[in-house]
């Protein structure tokens, strides 16, 4: 197998396992087994666990940028785009119920571990924050844009944590409904 393809498979498997089991709870052996590699060969591709985490975060950043771009293409209005973000707790509802928000849980884990990659993980939040701020600015709320962006982020994190803890889809639907009503007062 070519080096690049193997590397990609490793990042993919690590990404999934870090999300489902958490970073610290995932061992090299787990990732190697998922890809079908021996532990020894692993170090040819990544020399440390931190390096894999770095690659996983980079991959998630790229994936997030792609998703935000897609929302911009699909949704002509900034209000529609913000709503697309809000509804992600339903779109990815099953995963969030089982594993929480991939951004929130990674940030929480790395912050608690005081991990060196903590800042990189926060960049995932910042990506959403900046994008939301841009949409609120387009809605003519430039002055409060960052505050509103953080409010929407807080909504998604609160819903994700409780959805993960209680596994209650009706609760998620209700909260999305509340947020939709709140958003409608800010125009399309």
Q: Single out the residue of 39, 111, 142, 187 in contact with its own copies (rule: CB under 8 A).
A: 111
Nearer to DNA, 47 or 180 (CB): 47
Residue 80 engages its own copies in binding (rule: CB under 8 A): no
Q: Single out the residue of 42, 71, 85, 155 in contact with its own copies (rule: CB under 8 A).
A: 155
Q: Single out the residue of 32, 67, 127, 162 in contact with its own copies (rule: CB under 8 A).
A: 162
Of 35, 39, 40, nearest in space to 16 by CA: 35
By a kind-dependent CB cut-off of 5 to 8 A, residue 75 interacts, out of its own copies, DNA, none, with none
Residue 171 engages DNA in binding (rule: CB under 7 A): no
By a kind-dependent CB cut-off of 5 to 8 A, residue 37 interacts, out of DNA, its own copies, none, with DNA
Q: Single out the residue of 32, 34, 90, 161 in contact with its own copies (rule: CB under 8 A).
A: 161
Site for DNA in 16-55 (CB under 7 A): 26-30, 36-45, 47-50
Do residues 101 and 121 lie in contact, with contact meaning Cβ atoms separated by under 8 Å? Answer: no
Minimal distance, residue 127 CB to its own copies, in Å: 13
Written as six digits, the tokens of 93 are: 């509802």
Residue 120 engages its own copies in binding (rule: CB under 8 A): no
Residue 113 engages DNA in binding (rule: CB under 7 A): no
Instruction: Give the whole-angstrom CA distance, residue 97 versus residue 62.
Output: 24
Residues whose CB is less than 8 angstroms from the CB of residue 105 and which lie 6 or more positions away in sequence, other chains included? 19, 22, 99, 164
Minimal distance, residue 33 CB to DNA, in Å: 10
């Amino acid at each position: 197998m070519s080096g690049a393809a193997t590397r990609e498979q490793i990042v993919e498997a690590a990404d999934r396992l870090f999300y489902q089991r958490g970073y610290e709870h995932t061992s090299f052996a787990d990732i190697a087994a998922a890809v079908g590699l021996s532990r020894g060969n692993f170090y040819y591709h990544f020399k440390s666990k931190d390096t894999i985490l770095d690659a996983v975060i980079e991959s998630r950043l790229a994936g997030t940028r792609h998703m935000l771009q897609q929302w911009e293409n699909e949704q002509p209005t900034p209000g529609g785009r913000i709503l697309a973000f809000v509804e992600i707790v339903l779109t990815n509802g099953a995963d969030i119920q089982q594993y929480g928000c991939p951004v929130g849980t990674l940030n929480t884990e790395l912050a608690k571990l005081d991990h060196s990659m903590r800042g990189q993980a926060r960049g995932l939040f910042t990506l959403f924050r900046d994008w939301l701020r841009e949409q609120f600015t387009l809605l003519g709320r430039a002055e409060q844009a960052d505050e509103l962006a953080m409010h929407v982020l807080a909504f998604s994190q609160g819903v994700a944590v409780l959805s993960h803890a209680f596994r209650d889809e009706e609760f998620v639907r209700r909260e999305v409904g509340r947020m939709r009503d709140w958003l409608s007062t800010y125009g399309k």
